[in-house]
Structure 1
Amino acid sequence: MTVFQSRISPASDAFQQNRAEMLALVDRMRTLEARAAAKSDERRPVFDKRGQLSPRERISALLDPGMPFVELYNMASYLVDDPDPETSIPGASIITGIGYVSGVRCMVFADDAGINAGAMTGKSVDKALGALEIAHRQKLPFIHLVESAGADLMRYTVELWAHGGGMFAGLARLSAAGIPVITVLHGASTAGGAYQPGLSDYVIGVKGNGMAMLAGAALVQAATGEVAKDADLGGAEMHAEVTGLVEYLAEDDAHGIEIARDVVAGLGWPSGAAQVPDYDAPQYDPDELAGVVPVDYRKPYDMREVAARIVDGSRLLDFKPGYGPATLCLQARIMGQPVGILANNGPIDPDGATKATHFLQAMDQAGTPVVFLNNTTGYMVGTEYERGGMIKHGSKMIQAVTNLRVPKISLYVGASFGAGNYGMCGHAFGADFLFTWPNAMTGVMGGEQAALTMEQVARRTAERKGIPVDEERLAAQRAKITAHFDRQSDAFYTSGHMLDMGMIDPRDTRRVIGFCLATCAEGRARDLRPNAFGVARA
């Protein structure tokens, strides 16, 4: 493989403008993340009074110091329950991601009890289901740090309740697959939430604060007339001594986390990963990714410039570069792991789709993971492309993407519109991991294109009816449709609606992809000991 020769000058005005605009979006992302942390920290006096760690302190104590942690679904729920960009809080009252606990790569899932007492909304459930699915696919022990008021009854919908059952099913499937589920009961877990520890393989209960009960004292009295105390109904001490729901009783949060780390260490959980050879850093600094890509997806750029700042030694092998040239098929290594990279320098034409199909099948045959770098406005349209077989060639590409057996890691870098999103392993196509840059735009088409399409329809309708065109009305319609489409295509909106697995700083792309590739490699190499029903509690 040859080292890619970059044509970008970091000192150029274009690069500096790109960088300034991209970093402004990164700052927006970090501000939103900080908004969630600050909101949670408002409840610190309550945690301090109870002698508890805050949710983020619990995660920090659980994870191995100095080891990587990749957060997932960091923008979940942003602009969903609260549509105001100035007040909406991302995260869906949950903090989740993949990190190391006692040397073992684990899925960590923590209720953020600092926000609305950890009550769950619709996106909280979706986030939980996403984390459970990733843990199942990648064979990751699942550690749940519990303290939640259960469903947010002020935002209750019957769908919330129905979909919430998937959390129960997900935990049961993990256990049956041979993937351990470990719960630390830091605070209250009531009603449906009480079944979260009930469906766990190991439960650590914190004295005084940890509680699991189907109904609290107030509800019991209202329903039955019985006067009882919460501690008697579901305290950690009671469950450790009477019901057997709690295996390990901890003195406080820190002790509970220590026990959880000991439980993980005692699993004897093999990494399953093959030895990764030594590898070179890229020749071009990954920090330059902030200036390589214009924020405006309509401005062209060469996706090889992105790849060169992600792959080892900036070495790329270009597959059929002269055929369907706007569709890039590249071979490289990322942190020592061989990969195929499918990327776009614009729309996908029939030749590009055919080339991509060939390339994807070759990668599948070789067992090589595929990284998708999305930057396309879709498949080409028009007489030439229809007659060139765009439908059948695009369909072949979508079939190949859908049925790949190798790990698939997808990244929204620029535009990802229409069926081009499908051919580039978008949301619905089973990516092992799917992340977005903050500048990305995804949807059926761009706002201007949608508005122009509807304008053409209106003009043809008026012509057919023989009536004059109301230009003022058309202009108002054009502005309205453009704004409607662009708002929903914006990465902050789509990530808030969980159409990806999280938003990342472009400069972290190599680190995140490398971590995900290693996660996939470990999971696929690991042998489990499944059973029929999962571990049943004594």
Structure 2
Amino acid sequence: MLLRTQLDVSSDTFTANQEHHEAAWRAVADVIRAHKAGGSPKAAARHKERGKLLVRERVAQLLDPGTPFLELSVLAGHGLYREFAERDSDALLTERGPCASGGVVTGIGIVAGQPVAVMANDPTVKGGSYFPITLKKHLRLQAIAANFRLPCVYLVDSGGAFLPMQEEVFPDREHFGRIFYNMAQLSAAGLPQLSVVLGRSTAGGAYVPAMSDEVVMVRGASAIYLGGPPLVEAATGERVSDEELGGADVHCRISGVADRMEKDEASALAAMREIVATLPRPHAATPPHPPQEPLRSADELTGVVPVNPSQPYDPREILVRVIDAGDFVEFKPHYGVTLVCGIARIMGFPVAILANFGPLDAAAALKASHFVQMADQRRIPLLFLQNIPGFFVGKAHERAGIARDGAKMVRCVANASVPKLTLVVGGSHGAGNYSMCGRAYDPHLLFAWPSAKVSVMSGEAAASVLTTIKTAQYEARNTSVDQAQLASLRQKTLADYAQKSEVKYGSARLWDDGVIAPRDTRNVLGLALSALASGLPPQPTTAWGVYRM
């Protein structure tokens, strides 16, 4: 089936949609630039004065020239920990807060021709210390490395835990110790753990290089120690310098903690490229089909989505601007029509797509269950395009078993063993978030457009529910309804949901792996599918075939 657009791209409505969503992306892009600036200008200047590269300069020198870097979660930490921020006259930096990009840069890139997972501490952000969100972002990258079966390269320059928040980063299961547990597990799974120490690696952070398969250090600039000079002096009275305690010479000549010693950062990063070049090569990620351009321009994507988020639109209008040549083999096109399912290719890679066209009913849930099982059996990665208010509700739907059939869909999505990618293009509410592979269902990657709204229900629905409950409370007490209080409750709820369902709020907390420009959707998905191509399991994990739903 060849998809064709039904939209008039010259219409006033299309133009209004474009203007609205382009403005939304520009606002997000401004905030992304503020995060990519790193720590305070003073901290960046001090770092450069020491002859050191900024964190993204380090990453760029590590990667193969001219290759793309899929940076993840740039907005991590946005607006968090403002009580620890320095005063700043720049409004965007004040809004951003002190933890730019969560204090670490993470992503998937190409080193010596091989895809790798990269984690780089930003020492201009509180000396590379770990805030709670820093830790969450580091652990997320390790989960991605496990799912994609990628080697990990750590560019270490960290003071360890952010001490004023130690109770939120040290003792629990998913706290600092989990990094080292994961490193042990990943190494045991055949995924190399490699470190370049470019500054201090202190306290718990010292275990990142210590747990690595190979370690490169910089003479006179990097150090590894469990207790730094101030702690050593306090505990033993011994006065030592960084270099004497844990410098490159100590660890490469005496302790054996590190393996290579280089004269400067550029040489150390080049040495890591040499090490990566010795690793076993993955399966070639060559697409099985020649890539073909979409039938429509990606620049039109912002005109597809209505300004009003509650207004439905045909998701095929997104697909025709993303998939190869508009070629879409649709599954059950006349059944369960509030969900569009089908097989397509993106940059030559096959993908099984589920895209919302309104709330899910029982038929749509059963259709999805059938389709997900079939894709899993055929080893085709799944792509979920979320724009969903949830499941249909009401007496007729409950009696028809919407909970039972929705649970089938949720079970199939949860147990699918092929890679899963999720893109939130609009609303993502209630059980619809779960059934369409939201964060709790471990998609390999989850991205969002600026138009994304994630919450248990829409603000309007929440306001209606809460005012209905409040009205019932008045009636139960046989008192007159306070309309002013109801109006105040409604406005407060709408404002609260507007703030907390907005895409920057969620991305700051790692509810997604990054906010992307709609026009970049095809490139981002293509990079993800290419990286996944070498990690597909060879056979289904179930012992049965496809249950017809």
Which TM-score band (shorter chain)? over 0.9
The two structures have a TM-score, normalised by structure 2, of 0.93
CA distance in 2, matches of 1:73, 1:160: 22
CA distance in 1, matches of 2:207, 2:46: 25
1:535 aligned residue: none
CA distance in 1, matches of 2:308, 2:81: 28
Show the 5 A alignment for 1:292-441. Answer: 292-441=304-453
Show the 5 A alignment for 1:484-523. Answer: 484-523=496-535
1:27 aligned residue: 26
CA distance in 2, matches of 1:468, 1:368: 59
1:197 aligned residue: 209
- Does the residue aligned with 1:91 lie in a helix, a strand or coil? helix
> Is the 8 Å Cα contact of residues 50 and 209 (structure 1) preserved in structure 2?
no
CA distance in 2, matches of 1:410, 1:391: 23
> Is the 8 Å Cα contact of residues 122 and 160 (structure 1) preserved in structure 2?
no
- Does the residue aligned with 1:435 lie in a helix, a strand or coil? strand
Q: How many residues align?
A: 526
Amino acid across the alignment from 1:305: E
> Structure 1 residues 133-142 or 33-42, which shifts more?
33-42
CA distance in 1, matches of 2:307, 2:417: 33
1:100 aligned residue: 110
Amino acid across the alignment from 1:11: S
- Does the residue aligned with 1:9 lie in a helix, a strand or coil? coil
2:547 aligned residue: none
Amino acid across the alignment from 2:299: D
Q: Residue deviations 1:280-299, cap 9 Å, x none?
A: 11010112112211243212
Indicate how the Cα distance of structure 1 residues 204 and 96 shifts in structure 2: closer, same or farther if over 3 A, else same: same
> Is the 8 Å Cα contact of residues 295 and 439 (structure 1) preserved in structure 2?
no
Return the offset for 1:158: 4.3
> Is the 8 Å Cα contact of residues 35 and 74 (structure 2) preserved in structure 1?
no
Amino acid across the alignment from 1:34: R
Amino acid across the alignment from 1:36: H
CA distance in 2, matches of 1:23, 1:112: 30
> Structure 1 residues 84-93 or 363-372, which shifts more?
84-93
CA distance in 2, matches of 1:377, 1:354: 18
2:96 aligned residue: 88
> Is the 8 Å Cα contact of residues 307 and 314 (structure 1) preserved in structure 2?
yes
1:279 aligned residue: 291
> Is residue 113 of structure 2 the alignment partner of residue 137 of structure 1?
no
Indicate how the Cα distance of structure 1 residues 141 and 489 shifts in structure 2: closer, same or farther if over 3 A, else same: same
Match of 1:222 among 222, 225, 234: 234
1:110 aligned residue: 120
> Is the 8 Å Cα contact of residues 349 and 379 (structure 1) preserved in structure 2?
yes
CA distance in 1, matches of 2:78, 2:271: 34
> Is the 8 Å Cα contact of residues 38 and 101 (structure 2) preserved in structure 1?
no
> Is the 8 Å Cα contact of residues 36 and 101 (structure 2) preserved in structure 1?
no
> Is residue 22 of structure 2 the alignment partner of residue 14 of structure 1?
no
Amino acid across the alignment from 2:397: Y
CA distance in 2, matches of 1:36, 1:457: 42
CA distance in 1, matches of 2:170, 2:164: 12
> Is residue 156 of structure 2 the alignment partner of residue 157 of structure 1?
no
1:45 aligned residue: 45
The two structures have a TM-score, normalised by structure 1, of 0.94
> Is the 8 Å Cα contact of residues 104 and 271 (structure 1) preserved in structure 2?
no
Return the offset for 1:495: 1.0
Return the offset for 1:217: 1.2
Amino acid across the alignment from 2:140: G
Q: Residue deviations 1:341-363, cap 9 Å, x none?
A: 10111111111111111111111
Return the offset for 1:493: 0.6
- Does the residue aligned with 2:360 lie in a helix, a strand or coil? coil
Structure 2: give runs of 5+ residues left out of the alignment: 84-90, 539-549
Q: Residue deviations 1:209-234, cap 9 Å, x none?
A: 11011111111111111121221111
- Does the residue aligned with 2:217 lie in a helix, a strand or coil? strand
Return the offset for 1:322: 1.7
Structure 1: give runs of 5+ residues left out of the alignment: 527-538
1:62 aligned residue: 62
> Is residue 157 of structure 2 the alignment partner of residue 147 of structure 1?
yes
Return the offset for 1:274: 5.5
CA distance in 1, matches of 2:226, 2:508: 31
> Structure 1 residues 420-429 or 264-273, which shifts more?
264-273
> Structure 1 residues 207-216 or 82-91, which shifts more?
82-91
Amino acid across the alignment from 2:31: L
CA distance in 1, matches of 2:105, 2:443: 21
Return the offset for 1:368: 1.4
CA distance in 2, matches of 1:505, 1:524: 28
- The structure, 1 or 2, with the larger RCO (C-alpha pairs under 8 Å, 6+ apart) is 1
CA distance in 2, matches of 1:363, 1:178: 27
Indicate how the Cα distance of structure 1 residues 158 and 355 shifts in structure 2: closer, same or farther if over 3 A, else same: closer
Amino acid across the alignment from 1:35: A
> Is the 8 Å Cα contact of residues 319 and 329 (structure 1) preserved in structure 2?
yes
> Is the 8 Å Cα contact of residues 135 and 169 (structure 2) preserved in structure 1?
no
CA distance in 1, matches of 2:367, 2:445: 24
Amino acid across the alignment from 1:14: T
1:169 aligned residue: 181
CA distance in 2, matches of 1:486, 1:200: 44
CA distance in 2, matches of 1:216, 1:442: 43
CA distance in 1, matches of 2:377, 2:282: 27
CA distance in 1, matches of 2:58, 2:473: 62
> Is the 8 Å Cα contact of residues 442 and 489 (structure 1) preserved in structure 2?
yes
> Is residue 134 of structure 2 the alignment partner of residue 124 of structure 1?
yes
> Is the 8 Å Cα contact of residues 272 and 525 (structure 1) preserved in structure 2?
no
Return the offset for 1:159: 4.5
Q: Residue deviations 1:407-441, cap 9 Å, x none?
A: 11111010110001100000100211111111101
- Does the residue aligned with 2:139 lie in a helix, a strand or coil? helix
- Does the residue aligned with 2:220 lie in a helix, a strand or coil? coil
CA distance in 2, matches of 1:450, 1:160: 36
